[in-house]
Structure 1
Amino acid sequence: MHGHHGDEVHEHDRGLSYDLPVLARRRMIRLMAGASLVPLVGCSSEDGTAASAPSSQASSSQTSPGGTSSPATDASVECAPIPEETEGPFPGDGSNGVNVLKESGVVRSDVTRSFGDSAGGTAEGVPLTITLTVVDAASGCGTPKKGAAVYIWQCDREGRYSLYNDGVTDENYLRGVQEADDQGRVTFKSIFPGCYPGRWPHVHFEVFGSLADATAARSITNTSQLALPQDVSETVYATDGYGESVRNLGELSLESDMVFRDGHDQQLATVTGSTGQGYTATLTVPV
């Protein structure tokens, strides 16, 4: 178990008392979004697992023979906004101590290295390119949100968050902001995150209306998390440096994770690639 999380493991993402209102809102959103689709879309089961995807993205992944994951799509399913999630205790956006968003250099695509006056370290691990496509949910996910901005942050191979956890408090790697292009896309060069006790492998992100809002750390429009598929995670964690992630992942499932257990269809990324060449994770983000 990682000593750097300590008690934080048991209250990660600020605990169940913090998350219950979030989960309740998500259930209400899902019920409202699916009200007009009762004949076509099944309801969520009592244990919180989704019977079918609630959006046109339908990003629940189906594993292909090559060990990658591809989404099942159904244009007839209604587009719903990305589920709102807790930002967790390590956002670095000024809401819980340090604020990396106002630092010069945070707008970047390669987040593997620290920048500015930090210690200048590099996050080691299997390469992971993260591409998020921000679209307008109100228009049926057909309109890209050009000019929106996305801030991502994640743990490193050892399960540590820069700026917060012991050993990396002087680092700010695995954090960065990008402005969406004409297609609503933002792309980050990162590493596959480790799996620490109590949480499924994931990447946090916040969406802002503009780059100016993001770098001023104001007016967040959406806060959510990207989940990584089990088959790819298991493959990555069999490589050097991810030893503790093997055990931690074995004790979890998407259905038991405190964030994704009430439904992860819209948050499970499509992942392709290999440990040798690196992976690419893609996700559509309706806002």
Structure 2
Amino acid sequence: MSTHDPRHTKSNDSAFATPAHGHRLADDLPLISAQLLERRRALAWLGSSAAGSALLLAGCGGGGGSDGSSLAGLATTATTGTSSTSTTAAASGTSSSTSSSSSSTSTSTSSGSCTALPGETAGPYPADGTNTSSGATSDVLTASGIVRSDIRSSFVSSTTQAPGVLTTLTLTLVNTNSSCAPLSGYAIYLWHCDQGGSYSLYSAPTESYLRGVQVTDSNGQVTFTTIFPGCYSGRWPHMHFEVFASLASATTGRNSVLTSQLAMPSAACSAVYPYASGYTQSVANFAAVTLASDNVFSDNTAAQIAAMTLAMSGSATAGYAATATIGIAR
């Protein structure tokens, strides 16, 4: 009887080697019986439970070698990948929703917090057709060239540029009756004194600088390039402006939907007047006035004064960027 194990039909040298045994029926019968017994045992073992199937799958890897590890790895990767994708998608959806909701809330809160600016006097130097200068009605709004962004130079009878600390001013016009939505197509006329406290067309009659008109864009914004105004006796440093419903209606101050003023921030005044060239007389004038004593700003609420005071960044040497939101009820 052969001593060869009938379950091993391959050798290390050949993939098709056959076991050595005799060729008689008597030699084959014990082998056939052994094979049948082994098959019965295998079938009984395989059909016993799901655990048997799991063990068989593990065994397919070649006795716990790299193949089995790879299969286990693929199964883990597939499960993890699915879970990760679902989790990531859910997280992304939640995050996106939350972000969108937060953004909407922020926008709504921000847009709903604007303040309607109070009307203020145009003062004695508007040059908007509402008063006279040197015995004649002064109305620069009808002059050719008044629509401009850089207002530092004169444009009527000279081209003199007003000296002073460079200031870029961006104004945003919004509707306080419509969640502070931007108002486009409106004309804003801006004017203010020079660094010595004089106004063009009046105390500086031959000049027309520091006056200009711009039309609000789709964001309700206009930008002016100008200089930091000086401080003259009795007034807090400021700029004047008028808002018109359209450029066509910006022909006289009587057509304005709002006439008001903007206050210069105290910190910027303190940084400019004592140190920048040309502002010497502003030092004493500024020291003698406060917002509380100013005859224009003093009767406004804290919220109105905050909205009317320019937000500024920069320096007296590099120049300033200033912004303000002008709220009007439309």
Pair 1:274-2:287 in alignment: no
Equivalent of 2:196, from 136, 147, 158?
158
Larger Rg: 2
AA partner of residue 156 (structure 1): D
What is the letter of the counterpart of residue 159 of structure 2? G
Structure 2 residue 228 is the aligned partner of structure 1 residue 192: yes
DSSP-derived class of the 1:235 partner: helix
Structure 1 residue 122 displacement after superposition: 1.1
The 1:232–1:249 alpha-carbon spacing in structure 2 relative to 1, beyond 3 Å, is same
Give TM-score scaled by structure 1 length: 0.70
Q: Does 1:119 align with 2:158?
A: yes
Cα pair 1:83 1:266 within 8 Å, conserved: no
2:293 aligned partner: 256
Residue 183 (structure 1) aligns with: 219
* C-alpha distance in structure 1 between counterparts of 2:114 and 2:174, whole Å: 10
Gaps of 5+ in 1: 1-73
From 154, 164, 175, the counterpart of 1:136:
175
> How high is the TM-score relative to the length of structure 2?
0.61
- Closer, same or farther: CA 256–124 of 1 in aligned 2, 3 Å: same
1:234 aligns with 2:270: yes
- Counterpart-to-counterpart distance in 2, 1:224 and 1:266: 12
Partner SS for 2:250: helix
Supply the distance in 2 between the matched residues of 1:107 and 1:184 (Cα, whole angstroms): 16
164, 178, 187: which one aligns with 1:149: 187
SS at match of 2:234: coil
CA deviations 1:1-38 (Å, max 9, x no partner) are xxxxxxxxxxxxxxxxxxxxxxxxxxxxxxxxxxxxxx
The match for 2:237 among 201, 205, 220 is 201
Partners of 1:241 and 1:79 lie apart in 2 by: 36
Over aligned residue pairs, what C-alpha RMSD do you find? 1.5
Deviation, structure 1 residue 282:
0.4
Unaligned runs of 5+ in 2: 1-108, 133-137
Residue 81 of structure 1: how far off its partner (Å) = 1.8
- Give how far 1:80 is off: 3.8
Whether the aligned pair in 2 keeps the contact of 1:129 and 1:188 (CA below 8 Å) is yes
Deviations 1:201-257 (A, max 9, x none): 100000000111114655210001010111111111021110010000000111111
Q: Secondary structure at the match of 1:282?
A: strand
Q: What is the CA distance between 1:180 and its match in structure 2? A: 0.2
Separation of aligned partners in 1, 2:111 and 2:155: 45
Q: Is contact 2:139–2:252 with CA below 8 Å preserved after alignment? A: no
Task: Give distance in 2, aligned partners of 1:191 and 1:76.
Answer: 30
Query: What letter is aligned with 1:241?
Result: G
Residue 86 (structure 1) aligned to one of 121, 142, 150: 121
Q: Is the 8 A contact 1:132 1:186 kept in 2?
A: yes
Deviation at 1:281, TM superposition (A): 1.3
| Match of residue 222 from structure 1 | 258
Shift of 1:189: 0.3
| Percent identity over paired residues | 50
1:94 aligned counterpart, secondary structure: strand
Match of 2:142 in 1: 102
- Note if contact 2:120-2:261 (Cα within 8 Å) is conserved in structure 1: yes
Q: Which amino acid aligns with 1:234?
A: S
- Counterpart code for 1:121: T
Q: What do residues 246-282 of structure 1 show as CA deviations (whole Å, max 9, x unaligned)?
A: 0000001111111111231220110111112110110
What is the SS of the residue equivalent to 2:226?
Answer: strand
Separation in 1, partners of 2:282, 2:326:
27
Which residue number in structure 1 is paired with residue 326 of structure 2? Answer: 285
CA separation of 1:252 and 1:177: change in aligned 2, threshold 3 A: same
Q: Which runs of 4+ in 1 moved over 6 A?
A: none
Q: Secondary structure at the match of 2:140?
A: coil
CA distance in 1, matches of 2:254, 2:290: 34
Closer/same/farther in 2, CA of residues 245 and 216 from structure 1, 3 Å limit: closer
Deviation sequence 1:146-198 (CA, Å, 0-9, x none): 00110000000000000000xx2011100000000110001100000000000
Q: Which amino acid aligns with 2:145?
A: G
Cα contact 2:242–2:253 (8 A) shared by 1 = no
Q: Check 1:261–1:214 CA distance in 2 against 1; reply closer, same or farther (3 A cut).
A: same
| Native 8 Å contact 2:154 2:207 kept in 1 | yes
